[in-house]
Structure 1
Amino acid sequence: METTSQRNPAARGNRGWINGFIGVLIFSGSLPATRLAVLEFDPVFLTVARASIAALLGLCLLRLFKQQRPTRSQWAPLLVVALGVVIGFPLLTALALQYVTSAHSIVFIGLLPLATALFGVLRGGERPRPVFWLFSLLGSLLVVGYALSQGLNAAPAGDLLMLLAVLVCGLGYAEGAKLSRTLGGWQVICWALAVSLPVVLPSAVILAPTSFSGISLPAWLSLGYVSLFSMLIGFVFWYRGLAQGGIAAVGQLQLLQPFFGLALAATLLHEQVSVGMLAVTVAVLACVAGAKKFAR
């Protein structure tokens, strides 16, 4: 029997935007939490530890709800998702946050909607209207322009790592959203985590610190957040939203992430958020409205 959302594309699209928005809210805490964690955890260990914790939880969910194994054709896309969002993005951002503040790195997240939309066209077969690309490019140029105005010479390694992180994440988002149409939103991230488990779990054991006695409570809480929320729960909503509302369209919600992230960085980490940062964020937010209108 068809559901209401299946019979009504508009209702399905609205649910996609709601799920996507929840996912963005959850992801907004990722970089500030990672910034706190890498102050006391090695970034490579943090990457494999968060993936291992999330993967074990994901396997429990798959077993609890008796999910069928993916088909042979679905394993390759799951590997792309694992390399992009389970390992690639967390590792590259953790490495970048050794050179730049979370407030600075969050600005680069403004490039994610464009990257996601591009891969949505290449991998998801979507065809947004030409005006959509104008708004997406404008938002991305605002973000890049701000980064250049801050002087990339101060930390070129950190900015390069963030740009690479955006690319692999955009690919992982688009591939996962496409796969969610047949496999299911939460199933995609759980199976992608399961694919990575044979690599990340042994690595976490090998790279674990000799002693955890000096690790503070904020660092442990940050590890818990990026493991449970950033690596698992956020993707449940995010992939469902992308599949329901369209990769390119709902992907523009990521332009809200810098705003929420900058607020968290200022509140939790007491990092300075300049007037320039806020101005860029407001201008980028204006672009998401235009991109949303012409996404289809």
Structure 2
Amino acid sequence: MENTAQSERSALLYGLAAVLLWSTVATAFKLTLREFSPIQMLLVASVVSVIVLLVICQIKGTINQLSSVFLANPKYFFLLGLVNPLGYYLILFKAYDLLPASQAQPLNYSWAITLTLMAALFLGQKIRKQDWLACLLGYLGVLIIATKGNLLTLSFDSPLGVGLALLSTLLWASYWILNTKNKTDPILVVLLGFLVSLPFSIFLAWYEGLGWSSISLQGWLAVSYVGLFEMGITFVLWLTALKKTHNTAKVSNLIFLSPFISLILLAQIIGETIYPSTVVGLICILLGLAVQQIKFKTRNRNCADSNK
């Protein structure tokens, strides 16, 4: 049994491991997309993720719950699987295919701000003044990144790529809203989503009709890495970190490291040009997220005080 100090250290280590792994996936996306189409990439990464999550569930002893959980609400899990991973990752991978990863990744990072607006629309949650400020900062950052700082011209290198990156934030936020009242083991939920989506991914890959024989070993390793560390193991590390900590905000703040580490890796490994506008835009998005977190903690503290 861990004491509090050990538990907090473990939580930080798990959280830091998750953040460092997530920092590498934008680079892995671009390496994979050199040889795979977005549909092929989705199929293979999903298969890898299913294998990994099945092993994790077997180790945890929850795998025997899989069929009963699904049969309790099959329509819900079909919808969940179509939203994520099928819709979300297919659109996200296409956005990365059309845009430099140094643009696609920060744009996708605005999903938490999108979630605020959608939670107000679908869950009836109140949008506070600080949430509007967060939205303003976040979407200002999106515009700065998408236009490379030329806000007055509103000229985009790839309007479709920008649109898909922003659409991915809607799908990811929708996924979390759908999960709001789900009390099932989250690892089982993610696994069921992948299992539901697999037949659709197989059909889309078959319909696309692209060959597989020309893909190199590096390509197979890159797509396996995506399946392991974007969709599989890292999710479990992050959940473990949140479960072990008594200070969720402290662990959650680690995620602010990820986009900057990711930009460094993209510049060093892929050789992408990191525009100053990308850094400025990313800082705006992160400031928006910080505004939300600071106010959230303040609200929680006020609630705690009122309950004393």
TM-score, structure 2 normalization: 0.74
Q: What is the distance in 2 between the residues matched to 1:170 and 1:132?
A: 15
The 1:218–1:233 alpha-carbon spacing in structure 2 relative to 1, beyond 3 Å, is same
Question: Are positions 1:175 and 2:170 aligned together?
Answer: no
Q: What residue in structure 1 maps to residue 166 of structure 2?
A: 163
Q: What is the distance in 1 between the residues matched to 2:292 and 2:166?
A: 22
Q: What residue in structure 1 maps to residue 289 of structure 2?
A: 288
Give the SS at the match of 1:231.
coil
Q: What is the distance in 1 between the residues matched to 2:281 and 2:242?
A: 25
Q: What is the distance in 1 between the residues matched to 2:3 and 2:181?
A: 22
Read off the aligned partner of 1:163 and give its amino acid letter.
Answer: L
Q: How many residues align?
A: 285
Question: Are positions 1:39 and 2:34 aligned together?
Answer: yes
Q: What is the distance in 2 between the residues matched to 1:27 and 1:83?
A: 23
Q: 1:88-128 CA distances to partner (integer Å, 9 max, x unpaired)?
A: 22211222233211111112023111123344556677667
Q: 1:218-259 CA distances to partner (integer Å, 9 max, x unpaired)?
A: 322220111111111233245667899999998887665432
Read off the aligned partner of 1:40 and give its amino acid letter.
Answer: E
Read off the aligned partner of 1:194 and give its amino acid letter.
Answer: L
The 1:219–1:200 alpha-carbon spacing in structure 2 relative to 1, beyond 3 Å, is same
* Unmatched segments (≥5 aa) in structure 1: 6-10
Task: Check conservation: 2:107, 2:165, Cα contact below 8 A.
Answer: yes
Q: What residue in structure 2 maps to residue 8 of structure 1?
A: none
The 1:247–1:110 alpha-carbon spacing in structure 2 relative to 1, beyond 3 Å, is farther
Q: What residue in structure 2 maps to residue 102 of structure 1?
A: 101
Read off the aligned partner of 1:219 and give its amino acid letter.
Answer: G
How far off is 1:15 after superposition?
9.3
Task: Check conservation: 1:40, 1:215, Cα contact below 8 A.
Answer: yes
Question: Are positions 1:92 and 2:87 aligned together?
Answer: no
Q: What is the distance in 2 between the residues matched to 1:225 and 1:156?
A: 29
* Unmatched segments (≥5 aa) in structure 2: 300-308
Read off the aligned partner of 2:159 and give its amino acid letter.
Answer: P
Q: What residue in structure 1 maps to residue 232 of structure 2?
A: 232
Task: Check conservation: 1:184, 1:240, Cα contact below 8 A.
Answer: no
How far off is 1:269 after superposition?
0.5
How far off is 1:79 after superposition?
3.0
- Percent of pairs identical after alignment? 24
How far off is 1:201 after superposition?
4.2
Task: Check conservation: 2:137, 2:287, Cα contact below 8 A.
Answer: no
Task: Check conservation: 1:85, 1:173, Cα contact below 8 A.
Answer: no
Read off the aligned partner of 1:268 and give its amino acid letter.
Answer: I
Q: What is the distance in 2 between the residues matched to 1:133 and 1:241?
A: 30
Q: What is the distance in 1 between the residues matched to 2:250 and 2:33?
A: 33
Q: What residue in structure 1 maps to residue 221 of structure 2?
A: 221
The 1:153–1:291 alpha-carbon spacing in structure 2 relative to 1, beyond 3 Å, is closer
The 1:246–1:96 alpha-carbon spacing in structure 2 relative to 1, beyond 3 Å, is farther
Q: What is the distance in 2 between the residues matched to 1:228 and 1:247?
A: 25
RMSD: 3.9
Task: Check conservation: 2:52, 2:233, Cα contact below 8 A.
Answer: no
The 1:205–1:153 alpha-carbon spacing in structure 2 relative to 1, beyond 3 Å, is closer
**What pairs up with 1:1-296 in 2 under 5 angstroms?**
23-63=18-58, 65=61, 66-68=63-65, 69-70=68-69, 72=71, 74-120=73-119, 130-148=129-147, 149=149, 152-176=155-179, 178-179=181-182, 182-201=183-202, 203-204=204-205, 209-212=210-213, 214-238=214-238, 256-295=257-296, 296=299
Read off the aligned partner of 1:103 and give its amino acid letter.
Answer: S
Read off the aligned partner of 1:167 and give its amino acid letter.
Answer: L
Larger C-alpha radius of gyration, 1 or 2?
2
Q: What is the distance in 1 between the residues matched to 2:287 and 2:179?
A: 27
Q: What residue in structure 1 maps to residue 303 of structure 2?
A: none
Q: What is the distance in 2 between the residues matched to 1:193 and 1:40?
A: 23
How far off is 1:55 after superposition?
2.0
Q: What is the distance in 2 between the residues matched to 1:221 and 1:208?
A: 22
Q: What is the distance in 1 between the residues matched to 2:122 and 2:255?
A: 19
